[in-house]
Structure formats: C-alpha cells, structure tokens
Amino acid sequence: MFYSGIRTDEHKLTAAVNRAVATVSKESSYDIRTDNFYPYISDMSFMSVPFREKDIRMMLANSPYPLDYPYEKIREINVPVVNIGTYGRDGHTYIERLEKAYSFNEMPNLVFETIREYFGN
C-alpha cells in the first residue's frame, strides 16, 4: 500500500489493513505482511494522487517515455487506495504464476476484513 502520511483517510485505511492482517494471520499458514511498495502495474494509480506538486513534476520529468498522467483529474477522485493482491511469481509476464491457495482463500479474507475494519464492523 502507498502511504504518504499526509492524509487522514490514509491513517484510517492503514489501521484497517493492519487489523485485517493481524486477524487473518492468526488462521493463515502464510507470512502475511504489508509493504509500502508495489512492484507491478496497477490501476490504483488512477484513483489517488498522494504526491505533492514537486513530486509529480519529478515523476513526469524522469519518466522513460512521455507520460500523460492526468493528475489534476485524479485529485478530484483522490480516495485512499491499498492493493490487497494475489500472490505469485513473474507478474505481468507470459510465465506469470499464481499461488492459488493464497489468492483464492487468504486474499478474499483480507479484503473482507479490511472493508469490515474500515467501515467499523
């Protein structure tokens, strides 16, 4: 999950995710943890712009290709986001593999618990 530390709603979502991870981890054989970095392509980048203007300018200036990133419009949506994703290897490649037991059992529980915690049970 991306956490800038700037927005109050991020604090609420982060707390909900951490409580959900603690709850689901009790029953899981997986080492479930949170990270502040997602190494793959995600549509979540079009739901929130947690960066300051100088960060956006730096991102656009250092993009390897011209980037048409409509951050002004995205700021109108600007909801906190978290990626509770599947687990596997070689994401977004032709040999992508999926850990089915986690992705179809543990992950849905994490999503459910996060929503439950965020909205207050």
Helix (H) or strand (E) holding 89: strand 88-89
Give the separation between CA 5 and CA 28, rounded to whole angstroms. Answer: 29
* Number of domains into which the chain is organized: 1
| Residue 71 belongs to some domain of the structure | no
Residue pLDDT, tens place only, 20-75: 999 999 999 999 988 877 666 566 666 777 677 887 788 778 877 777 778 788 87
Residue pLDDT, tens place only, 63-105: 777 777 787 888 787 788 888 877 888 877 788 888 888 889 8
Sequence-distant (6+) residues with CB within 8 A of 59 are 51, 67, 69
Using the predicted structure, report yes or no on whether residue 3 has a pLDDT greater than 60: no
| Residue 13 belongs to some domain of the structure | yes
* Residue 33 domain boundaries: 8-43+80-118
Alpha helices, DSSP H only, in 3-106? 8-25, 53-61, 71-77, 100-101
| Residue 86 belongs to some domain of the structure | yes
| Residue 102 belongs to some domain of the structure | yes
CA end-to-end span of the chain: 21
